[in-house]
Amino acid sequence: MNRLKLFDTHTHSEFSPDGRMTMEEAVESSLAKGLGGISFTDHFDVEAPGDNSHFSFDPLEQQDKIDKLKSREGFFIGKGIELGLQPSAIESARKAVSLFKFDLVIASVHFVDGIDPYHDKYYDLRNEKVAYGRYLETIYQCITGYDDFDILGHFDYITRYSPYLNKSLTMKEYGDYLDPILRHLAYRGKALEINTNTYRVRNGSSPVLDNAVIRHFRQIGGELVTLGSDAHDYQRVGEGLEEAARLLISEGYRYTAYFAERKAVLVPLAI
């Protein structure tokens, strides 16, 4: 894997309100780790409820800074956005993205029925099946109602912070929810993201990515898979990407991808 040039397609810089690294730090970390490129996908949660309205940024300022960093020949720096979708804010999301030129748009769900599953409140009066199922239903609502995106971000975000013993979304248990999502992505030519931040240890346990999800996506015609660390600190840029690439190889994938000017660029998974 050492010779494989991987691309980190999901990171957060100082332009994200929770970003704890500068773009310069992230680029230096990427180069030091031998990555082929990095994309800055700062938070833009449309109509975020409560005190979360600050989860946005000025794309023009972000892109201007990226342009200044792009002088490094042979190293890709992507202009991206992590668009926080809600079923009630589809039109606002469509307008926000149409105003700017990005290399990639990640569609993510951070709020379900007005609550971020990061908070314990989301799980009150919900058992695991209801909590996980409602999250996946919301993803499906969003991606079928809004098409101007390239990548579905962290489909298993819900498992990071849940209080349940089961921390994984498996095809066996949640296939009825996952299958429609994966089929829609495959049909529309969208990318599925392996977000390695999800699989970090939190409170003594960590979710596990079910290989069957990745396998099923390929079997139904899904071709594009991106790898993202979701790093907010420069130390975590590229974290877990090699392991994710190995998983893809084991499931028969020949490529991973990154996006430039909203078009997928295939990266061979060759050792």
The model's pLDDT over 174-184, given as tens digits with 9 standing for 90+, comes to 999 999 999 99
Query: Helix 128-145 vs helix 171-188: angle between axes, to the nearest 10 degrees?
Result: 10
Angle CA 68–72–77, to nearest 5: 70
Per-residue pLDDT band at 54 (split at 50, 70, 90): low
Structure tokens at 76: 């890709």
Question: So what's the pLDDT on residue 4?
Answer: 78
Question: So what's the pLDDT on residue 25?
Answer: 97
Per-residue pLDDT band at 18 (split at 50, 70, 90): confident
| In the predicted structure, residue 123 carries a pLDDT above the cut 80 | yes
CA torsion sign, 7 to 9 to 14 to 15?
positive
Q: Could you read off the pLDDT of 227-248 as tens digits, one per residue?
A: 999 999 999 999 999 999 999 9
- Return the residue matching tokens 């079923």: 87
Question: So what's the pLDDT on residue 116?
Answer: 95
Q: Which residues contact 48 (CB under 8 A, 6 or more apart)?
A: 55, 56, 84, 110, 111
Task: Report the percent of the chain where pLDDT is more than 90.
Answer: 86
| In the predicted structure, residue 271 carries a pLDDT above the cut 70 | no
**pLDDT: which is higher, 50 or 208:** 208
Question: So what's the pLDDT on residue 1?
Answer: 42
Range of lowest pLDDT (3-7, 113-117, 213-217, 244-248): 3-7
| Beta bridge partners of residue 8, listed in sequence order | 38
Question: So what's the pLDDT on residue 38?
Answer: 98
Q: Which residues contact 90 (CB under 8 A, 6 or more apart)?
A: 142, 145, 146
For residues 148-169, give the mean pLDDT.
96
Domains parsed from the chain with CATH numbers: 7-268 (3.20.20.140)
Q: What phi-psi label fits residue 34: left (phi over 0), alpha (psi between -120 and 50 degrees) or beta?
A: left
pTM of the entire predicted model:
0.95
Range of lowest pLDDT (6-20, 43-57, 71-85): 43-57
Range of lowest pLDDT (20-34, 36-50, 123-137, 231-245): 36-50
Q: CA of 3: how far to CAs of 6, 49, 99, in Å?
A: 9, 44, 38
- Return the residue matching tokens 């990639």: 104
Per-residue pLDDT band at 204 (split at 50, 70, 90): confident
